Chains A and B, each alone.
Chain A
Amino acid sequence: MRKITWSIVAVVVALFISAGLAQASTKDEVQKRGYLQCGVSTGLPGFSNPDEKGTWTGLDVDVCKAIAAATLGDATKIKYVPLNAKERFTALQSGEIDALVRGTTWTLTRDSSLGLNFTGVNYYDGQGFLVSKKLGVKSALELDGAAVCIQGGTTTELNLADYFKEKKMEYKPVVFDTHDATAKAFDNGRCDVLTSDQSQLYGLRTHLSKPADAIVLPEVISKEPLGPVVRQGDDAWFNIVKWALNAMIEAEEMGVTQANVDEMKKSKNPGVRRLLGVDGIGGKGLGLNDDWAYQIIKQVGNYGEIFERNVGKGSPLQIERGLNALWSKGGIMYAPPLR
């Protein structure tokens, strides 16, 4: 009997002690672990998609790489955790991943009541509609009574309801777990319309059996600023993720590319010198090496490069820069000064 009592006491004490331990900061944890755990989608061409060999590529993946390059000095030290829309926040809240870069729309509810923080925007998107050409529809206003395929747990579901209600139209929502199932059901003819963020529609279209038979309608029914997300309450880590993205945007503005970054280190331009850590604050404020931004550009590239490579002219998606062009070139991509 005494043995049992003592073991119970020991267990309870152990529990109290383990619960009392303070959480280490994410940056220290990542550096100690030696790799970054980055939450991405289960497969979305252009944003985060694994190839046959299991190598991940995409715009979101490149943001993960930038964070790893800044924190660890090596953009390849990442463990990608594929998540569907429903799993993503829980995975981040529970500490299963260090950062979530998965086309996640920045909204008030998510920013304020989930215990999460959005660090910026890596793609300005808007919700659109993909329909079959056979339908003969030219505008979203002709969609009354349509069956609509959606991925569950997204802002898309809510925007859709708002839009159809405002236009006094009826619709039948068919909700799936993953992008794949949604696209497959649309392909089978279960729905007239597939709705999602426009960028995703272009990606999903490449998954259809006859991509040329589907068109994206001109209407954009919502604002979808997509960005990286981190846990609330770890400001140091929040800053690192925020500035990893800013550095890429700033690099594009300064004309620093993956190819010329070594040359640029010798540049006389004070802005470039500050960006590459030759002069100025370097990585002191962030608690990183002074060449953190240099590593990002050297190993991953600037924002323009990753855009064109993954979703723009260098990719099958052929998406225009549009809103995602630099502020100086007609878009709204804008990074605060790195000084």
Chain B
Amino acid sequence: MSNSKKQFWWNNAQHRSLFFQVLLVALLVGFFWFIGSNTLTNLERRGISTGFGFLSQVSGFGIIQHLIPFDETYTFGRTFLVGLLNTLLVSAVGIVFATIIGVVVGVARLSNNWLIAKLAMVYIEIFRNIPLLLQMFFWYFAVLRTLPAPKQSWSAGDVIFLNIRGLYLPEPIFGPGFNFVFWALGLAIVTTLFISRWAKLRQEQTGKQFKTMTVGAGLIFGLPTIVFFLADASLSWNVPALKGFNFRGGITIIPEFTALLTALSIYTGAFIAEVVRSGIMAVNSGQTEAASALGLHKNRILKLVVIPQAMRVIIPQLTSQYLNLVKNSSLATAIGYPDLVAVFAGTTLNQTGQAIEVIAMTMGVYLFLSLSISAFMNWYNKKMMLVER
């Protein structure tokens, strides 16, 4: 510190800035504390219950689609999990489909074939410019309507049935000894990963190529099959059957899920297609020409030169499309799909009346999901960035 006699602490720039920072933090904490306590006092004064005790109360209502066991006797806390899993399911599958659609259409948009390029353009311009909610209504109320009633179901070999109530598939029932098959599958996948790593290293060192794809596919399909017969594992199917009004047994894919998934994938796919197109176009044509001058095959140019460079442009934009898809899945409530918003921020909120807690939890979940996706995509982006040697 300074030796000067008349040096007050506020004359020291460092101390002063520290003081103001502490003051700011104190004000912020005070502000939020005030908001919180004010809310609580007012809720209490108006006789509205608060707290998270409701999560352990019995819910008393049913949910049509649950990935974990659920019925009326489970708690409100469980409804949260059921809703969350339903949201995750439709988001995860939606992201996969939207990406596939997006990549295919994005590449098709750049095709030299006039018809394919124009078709891709028409698709993008139509689905990108119609509100998502309308598209959901279209799939759910217009397309669904054409499906037959349960008694006139369309069937494939009397094991798969399709009607207005959903798609009914046979459910596999794994008999004893089947866990060996799962172990074998896990082993095959891990081995394939190692082989691909080793092949990459070998190619870098010696230039020799290894057919990872063929070997991997053989392992993943072959090994479990062999084990299946060796372990004498049994596998039976629970085939859906029409009983009373509806099909029972098997796996049901409800039409709400299908409609929501279709709308989300097609809508987001249109945006991703444009992202992919922009990424590919961002790669300088000199790069492609240089690669072909080296004598690389067309496919290898795409795989080794264009895509790695395009990815750097694509990934950051792709992240926001994924985030949009997850958040848009909350429109599910309009067509009766039991997602987190419909089940938890809908029915549960209404039965308990604890809006603040329920909405805070729901917002927390979406925030957490979005941040997780962002973090993952940022990590992936870093991995794909230009490696300077």
Interface residue ranges, A against B (CB under 8 Å): 1, 5, 8, 12, 15-16, 19, 85-86, 89-90, 93, 109-110, 112-115, 135, 143-147, 152-154, 157-158, 160-162, 164-165, 170-177, 181, 184-185, 188-190, 192, 231-233
Can you identify 17 A-B contacts, CB atoms within 8 angstroms?
Answer: A15-B34, A19-B34, A86-B346, A89-B350, A93-B355, A114-B48, A115-B43, A115-B48, A143-B245, A146-B245, A146-B246, A147-B245, A147-B246, A181-B334, A188-B144, A189-B164, A190-B164
**Contact partners of A188 in chain B: CB under 8 A:** 141, 144-145, 164
Which B residue sits closest to A157, measured CB to CB? B61
Q: Quote the shortest CB–CB distance from B188 to chain A (angstroms).
A: 38
> Which of B's residues lie within 8 Å of A, judged by CB?
20, 23, 27, 30-31, 34, 38, 43, 45-49, 60-64, 72, 141, 144-145, 149, 164-165, 243-246, 248, 255-256, 333-336, 338, 342, 346-347, 349-351, 353, 355
Q: Which of A143, A175, A177, A192 has the most CB of B within 10 A?
A: A175
Note all chain B residues with C-beta closer than 8 A to A135: 245
A114 contacts B245, C-beta separation under 8 Å: no
Which 8 residue pairs spanning A and B have beta carbons closest together?
Answer: A153-B350, A115-B48, A115-B46, A114-B353, A161-B72, A145-B244, A113-B49, A115-B47
Please tell me which one of the listed residues A16, A185, A233 contacts residue B47 in the complex, with CB atoms under 8 A apart.
A233
Q: Are B346 and A153 in contact (CB under 8 A)?
A: yes
Chain B residues with CB under 8 A of A232: 46-47
Complex CA gap A144/B246 in Å reads 9
A93–B49 alpha-carbon span in the complex (Å) = 12
How far is B27's CA from A144's CA once the two chains are assembled, in angstroms?
A: 61
Contacts of A181 in B (CB 8 A): 334-336
A26 to B276, CA, bound (A): 57
Residues of B within 8 A of A109 (CB): 351, 353
Given A86-B346, A113-B48, A152-B342: A158 touches B245 (CB 8 Å cut-off): no
> Do A147 and B350 touch across chains, with their CB atoms under 8 A apart?
no
Q: Is there an interface contact between A173 and B63, defined as CB atoms closer than 8 Å?
A: yes
**Nearest B residue to A172 by beta-carbon distance?**
B64
- Complex Cα distance A15/B30, Å? 12
Give Cα A188–Cα B139 distance, bound, in whole angstroms: 13
- Contact residue among B46, B336, B347 (Cβ-Cβ distance under 8 Å from A93): B46
CA distance A109 to B351 in the complex (A): 8
Q: Which residues of A contact B47 (CB under 8 A)?
A: 112-115, 232-233
A143→B144 CA distance, assembly (Å)? 23
Residue among A153, A160, A184 facing the most chain B CB atoms (10 A cut-off): A153
Contact of B31 among A12, A113, A160, A172 (CB under 8 A): A12
Smallest CB–CB gap between A98 and chain B, Å? 15
Contact A175 B347 (CB under 8 A): yes
> A231, B46: Cβ atoms under 8 Å?
yes
A85 to B353, CA, bound (A): 12
Q: Which of B61, B256, B353 contacts A158 (CB 8 A)?
A: B61
B64, A233: Cβ atoms under 8 Å? no
Decide: A113 and B347 in contact? CB cutoff 8 A: no
Min Cβ gap A133→B in Å is: 14
What's the least CB distance linking A339 to chain B, in Å? 31
Is the Cβ of B45 less than 8 Å from the Cβ of A233? yes
**Using Cβ atoms and an 8 Å threshold, which residues of chain B touch A185?**
141, 336
B356 to chain A, nearest CB (A): 10
CB nearest neighbor in B for A8: B27
CB distance from A323 to the nearest CB of B (A): 25
Known: A89-B355, A114-B48. 16 other contacts (CB 8 A): A1-B20, A93-B48, A112-B47, A113-B47, A113-B353, A115-B47, A144-B244, A145-B244, A152-B333, A152-B346, A157-B347, A157-B351, A175-B64, A177-B333, A185-B141, A188-B141
CB-CB under 8 A from A172, the residues of chain B are 64, 165, 246
B246, B336, B346 interface centre (most CB from chain A within 10 Å): B336
Nearest to A158 among chain B residues (CB) is B60
